[in-house]
Amino acid sequence: MGEAPNSQQQKQKIVTGDGGYVLEDVPHLSDYIPNLPTYPNPVQDNPSYSVVKQYFVDEDDTVAQKIVVHKNSPRGIHFRRAGPRQKVYFDPEDVHACIVTCGGLCPGLNTVIREIVCGLYYMYGVKRVMGIDGGYRGFYSKNIIPLTPKVVNDIHKRGGTILGTSRGGHVTKKIVDSIQDRDINQVYIIGGDGTQRGAAVIFEEIRRRGLNVSVAGIPKTIDNDIPVIDKSFGFDSAVEEAQRAISAAHVEATSFENGIGLVKLMGRDSGFIAMYATLASRDVDCCLIPESPFYLEGRGGLFEYIEHRLKENGHMVIVIAEGAGQELVSESLRCTGKQDPSGNKLLQDVGLWISERIKEHFSKQKKMLINLKYIDPTYMIRAIPSNASDNVYCTLLAQSAVHGAMAGYTGFTVGPVNGRHAYIPFNRITETQNKVVITDRMWARLLSSTNQPSFLRTRDIIKAHKEEEPPTQLSDDSITDDNLMEKQVLC
């Protein structure tokens, strides 16, 4: 295998091999700092690992991005497998690590913090770890929190983040100056795509200065809209907690004549929480997500479907993602062009808006009295502690990040790809957003479960078929005969 020619070779390491094998590698400290000393990995002397048959991951181990391939298709893109290496590039006694959390809240933040601290302390013997208080701006506002296993012992039982968080506040020079002034040599950055873009810029400035500092990212988004990785931490917890809101809406709806329970769930641009909560609940009659356009009036519209379901069942539960139907909100209500400090477009409360439109429509009809209850559990869901599966997942994420940083890798983010944790270049998780593919099997399963129409007009179906569908981690992204058949069914 040899390195592929690339004008941006310093920014992206691409290794190619036979059969279409392509390794999208991550940077290493030795790429720009010559003659770095190495040390034996202390994990091999750790009693906890004494029963492990193989302490270390082989240097050549990779993880394939796709596991479903055609007979004659190339081997495709691979990423470097995460895990402990035989040699480390930091003397544990010299390590001074810091952790920062940025952006919105998400179940599991405290678990990731805890496991980074405990992983450094118990696996590698690192004693100096500190938290940056208040997001990126905490770097230059001199706010730090000393972190030890005793300090973080019980934090996984709480929601939120003990380090505090904020949006924006990214001033690269000040942040790197602070890292340099404090002799920090490992930086763990937990946040969404905007935060990871910031981490990539921090890494580039660190590399430009030639600093012996490893930058590791842990991707965070409750919406599950980060590409490449199987799913984001906090997603399972969010789906589980969403069931409580849907259950309450179902109780309200069934307790009144023509009762409608309307639940708004998170999902600015991707409707994964709404889709999976709907599939898990089985009490939902209609799920509306950003990826699937819908319309209100006329034949085949939402109002007609609501009337049909009420006449048929006497009640109805609707789940809507916060980013759905934004194009339908009138110009008088829309905050055109306005953004939050993270650069996200400000959304209107589509749940409140659509509940008023439904009430208005049926009041004009005067032939059907409805009882609508609107439930918005958004911030309640974000603030809960992570559930059991997310706690396990956060532990693996944190330990993989620690192994990578100690092994000298930098400028990477970590996450599971087809069930195996891998080190992924920053650009791969920030270049696009993962979205529900409405011509895929999973969305067809939801339509079958709720028995709702697709709400797609003919022109929408043609457009959806013509557009190139981005790969998703929670569904098959290859075009097969089954896919084509399901597309015909959806039509």
> What's the per-residue H, E or C state across 312-368?
HHCEEEEEEECCCCHHHCCCCCCCCCCECCCCCECCCCHHHHHHHHHHHHHHHHCCC
Neighbours of 209 (CB within 10 A): 13
Q: What is the pLDDT of residue 457?
A: 60
- Is there a domain that residue 5 lies in? no
Q: What is the pLDDT of residue 481?
A: 39
pLDDT, averaged across the chain: 88
Same domain for 293 and 208? Answer: no
Handedness of CA 97, 101, 107, 110 (dihedral sign): positive
- Is there a domain that residue 368 lies in? yes
Q: What is the distance between the alpha carbons of residues 8 and 248, in angstroms, rounded to a whole number?
A: 53
pLDDT confidence of 486, banded at 50, 70, 90?
A: very low
Of the candidates 226, 169, 240, the residue with the CA atom closest to the CA atom of residue 414: 226
Same domain for 425 and 456? Answer: no
Of the candidates 432, 13, 25, 490, the residue with the CA atom closest to the CA atom of residue 226: 432
Same domain for 337 and 426? Answer: no
pTM: 0.87
Q: Domain count of the chain?
A: 2
Q: Which two tokens stand for residue 489?
A: 């069914």
Q: What is the pLDDT of residue 459?
A: 54
Same domain for 107 and 176? Answer: yes
Same domain for 312 and 442? Answer: yes
Average pLDDT over residues 67-85: 86
Q: What is the pLDDT of residue 487?
A: 38
Range of the domain at 348: 235-383+437-466
Same domain for 271 and 334? Answer: yes
- Is there a domain that residue 411 lies in? yes
Q: What is the distance between the alpha carbons of residues 344 and 189, in angstroms, rounded to a whole number?
A: 19
pLDDT confidence of 76, banded at 50, 70, 90?
A: confident
Supply the CATH number for residue 416's domain. 3.40.50.450
- Is there a domain that residue 163 lies in? yes
Supply the CATH number for residue 347's domain. 3.40.50.460
Same domain for 416 and 317? Answer: no
Same domain for 413 and 375? Answer: no
Same domain for 194 and 63? Answer: yes
Q: Is the pLDDT of residue 3 over 50?
A: no
- Is there a domain that residue 388 lies in? no
Same domain for 222 and 246? Answer: no
Q: What is the pLDDT of residues 229-250, one digit of tens each?
A: 999 999 999 999 999 999 999 9
Q: What is the pLDDT of residues 129-159, one digit of tens each?
A: 999 999 999 998 878 999 999 999 999 999 9
Catalytic residues: 223
Average pLDDT over residues 239-262: 97
